[in-house]
């Protein structure tokens, strides 16, 4: 079908939505109808006629409904991309699309409607080189390193056996049997374990911790009470004895302790901790820059109706008014991240950023490293997000943000670097496909002139 045979008109529905009304003239519909009827008639079997030799008027009588349905579907398939292109719309750059099809009219023409939801309009002149003002990055001091080392020492408490009674904070080794209420045969017999006596936590059943405090090695206990584990609150009797009482002490700062944290010596451990703290500070700074960029890119767009954006995102809430009321009572708060993501999507599309299989593999490997799970397991867990494109969409936004951060004009507002401006790079950020630097864009414009 020739694109110039399609008649379209566009109605702006507001809030990034448009309605396209497409009309295909009767002669185009008629020509295609003849093709479809001929193709179907060849396969038609009617008693009294050889296959493929059924007269046209009889074939049309039998096939009229099927022919009309196929014609309408074919006409939409053949004309939709042309209709979008005529109106400056790229199907790949649409957030959503629905259509409504009218039956073929009495005059033989076909009309249908497309409702499209667009991404926000974004301008590279505004989002390339965004100026953001943030505090100077946190500096890591020797005191910071010492404080973190002290925290780690306290997490690596070591037991020291003592002769005295059990106190809060001690580690107690016990052997016990557990009985269900009213039963003489234990469900768990002569089980040995170590329990830490903590101020704000119970032990196994209600009353056991209180019964343990004050006991010494070799002394026995016998307590009945409801379980504090799970939801059933079943009553058990726990009977046993104390095998050992140990105080938990902070270990000395030695090379031996450093080995437990993967370092050869105390000095090496401190250097590793310093590197870790610097990485944390860099991450905090990155997050501050990203937060400012997110705020700025949302301000670049003229938004019409926050409630409509939110409704489109949460979908149909009929039958659950509480959900609807909750989200809309906080419309400004809940719509903010939606707007941020929409603009990042739009920038990613505008810049031609692509998500490759390598990007997906890298994302899965990162998740596996953070969770300690093998990559095949992570891939299986995230299969749905991979197949429906959710993971690729998230990666697209990350890559768009990477580009914005790379080109951001960052100004620090405190410390020695107050007022210092970070130079914008001249090359595209690593791993961002199709992203052009401001200089490259200028070169292209000069070359086009």
pLDDT band at 244 (very low <50, low <70, confident <90, very high): very high
Closest CA to 441 of 355, 347, 351: 351
Angle at 39 between CA 37 and CA 44, to 5 degrees: 85
Q: Where are the domains of the chain?
A: 3-118, 157-249, 266-448
3-state SS track over 220-267: EEEEEEEECCCCCCCEEEEEEEEEEEEEEECCCCCHHHHHHCCCCCHH
* Contact yes or no for 363/379 (Cβ under 8 A): no
Q: How far is CA 184 from the centre of its chain?
A: 53
In degrees rounded to 5, what are phi and psi of residue 10?
-120, 135
Total-model pTM: 0.70
DSSP lists the bridge partners of residue 101 as 112
Name the band, by pLDDT with cuts 50, 70 and 90, for residue 419: very low
Looking at per-residue confidence, does 175 or 303 come out higher?
Answer: 175
Residue 163: CB atoms within 10 Å: 7
CATH class in words for 3-118? alpha beta
Q: Which fold would CATH assign to domain 266-448?
A: Trigger factor, domain 2 (1.10.3120)
**What pLDDT, in 10s, does the model give residues 372-385?**
999 999 999 999 99
pLDDT of residue 415: 52
Contacts with 86 (C-beta within 8 Å, 6 or more apart), sequence order: 3, 6, 8
The residue-averaged pLDDT of 389-400 equals 94
DSSP state of 440: H
Q: What is the pLDDT of residue 440?
A: 43
Label residue 425 by pLDDT band (50, 70, 90): very low
* pLDDT tens digits along 47-74: 778 777 778 878 778 888 888 888 888 8
Q: Do the Cβ atoms of 11 and 114 come closer than 8 Å?
A: no
C-alpha distances in Å from residue 280, one per residue of 140, 288, 361: 10, 12, 25
Closest CA to 437 of 410, 407, 411: 407
Please state, in angstroms and rounded to a whole number, the distance separating the CA atoms of residues 298 and 339: 6
Buried b (16+ CB within 10 A) or exposed e, 215-251: bebeeebebbbebeeeeeeeebbbebebeebbeeeee
Q: What CATH number is given for 157-249 in this structure?
A: 3.10.50.30
- pLDDT of 413 above 80: yes
When pLDDT is averaged across residues 307-321 and rounded to a whole number, the result is 71
Q: Is 96 exposed, middle or buried (0-12, 13-18, 19+ CB in 10 A)?
A: exposed
Q: What is the average per-residue pLDDT within 350-373? A: 94
**What single-letter DSSP state applies at residue 52?**
T
């Amino acid at each position: 079908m020739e694109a110039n045979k399609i008649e379209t008109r566009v109605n702006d529905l507001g809030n990034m939505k448009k309605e396209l009304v497409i009309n295909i003239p009767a002669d185009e519909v008629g020509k295609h109808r003849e093709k479809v009827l001929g193709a179907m008639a060849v396969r038609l079997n009617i008693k009294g006629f050889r296959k493929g030799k059924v007269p046209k008027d009889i074939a049309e009588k039998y096939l009229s409904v099927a022919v009309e349905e196929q014609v309408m579907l074919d006409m939409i398939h053949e004309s939709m991309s042309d209709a979008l292109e005529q109106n400056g719309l790229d199907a790949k750059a649409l957030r959503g699309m629905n259509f409504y099809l009218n039956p073929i009219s009495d005059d033989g023409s076909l009309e249908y409607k497309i409702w499209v939801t667009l991404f926000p309009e974004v301008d590279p002149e505004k989002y390339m080189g965004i100026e953001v003002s943030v505090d100077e990055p946190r500096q890591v001091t020797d005191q910071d390193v010492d404080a973190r080392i002290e925290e780690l020492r306290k997490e690596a408490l070591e037991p020291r056996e003592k002769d005295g009674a059990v106190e809060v904070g001690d580690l107690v080794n016990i052997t016990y049997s557990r009985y269900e209420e009213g039963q003489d045969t234990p469900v768990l017999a002569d089980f040995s374990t170590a329990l830490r006596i903590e101020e704000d936590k119970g032990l196994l059943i209600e009353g056991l911790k209180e019964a343990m405090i004050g006991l010494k090695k070799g002394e026995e206990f016998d307590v009945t009470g409801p379980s504090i584990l799970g939801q059933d609150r079943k009553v058990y009797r726990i009977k046993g004895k104390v095998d050992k009482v140990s105080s938990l002490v902070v270990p000395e700062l030695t090379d031996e302790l450093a080995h437990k944290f993967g370092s050869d010596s105390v000095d090496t451990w401190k250097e590793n901790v310093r590197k870790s703290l610097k990485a944390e500070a860099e991450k905090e700074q990155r997050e501050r820059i990203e937060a400012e960029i997110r705020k700025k890119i949302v301000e670049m767009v003229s938004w019409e109706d926050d409630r409509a954006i939110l409704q489109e995102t949460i979908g149909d809430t009929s039958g659950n008014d509480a959900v609807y009321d909750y989200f809309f009572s906080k419309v400004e708060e809940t719509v903010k991240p939606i707007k941020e993501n929409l603009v990042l999507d739009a920038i990613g599309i505008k810049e031609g950023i692509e998500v490759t299989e390598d990007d997906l593999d890298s994302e899965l490997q990162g998740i596996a490293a953070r969770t300690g799970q093998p990559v095949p397991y992570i891939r299986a867990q995230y299969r749905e997000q991979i197949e429906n494109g959710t993971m690729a969409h998230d990666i697209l936004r990350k890559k768009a943000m990477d580009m914005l951060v790379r080109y951001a004009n960052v100004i620090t507002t405190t410390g020695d670097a107050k007022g210092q401006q970070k130079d914008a790079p001249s090359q595209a950020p690593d791993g961002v496909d199709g992203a052009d630097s401001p200089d490259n864009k200028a070169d292209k414009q000069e070359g086009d002139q």
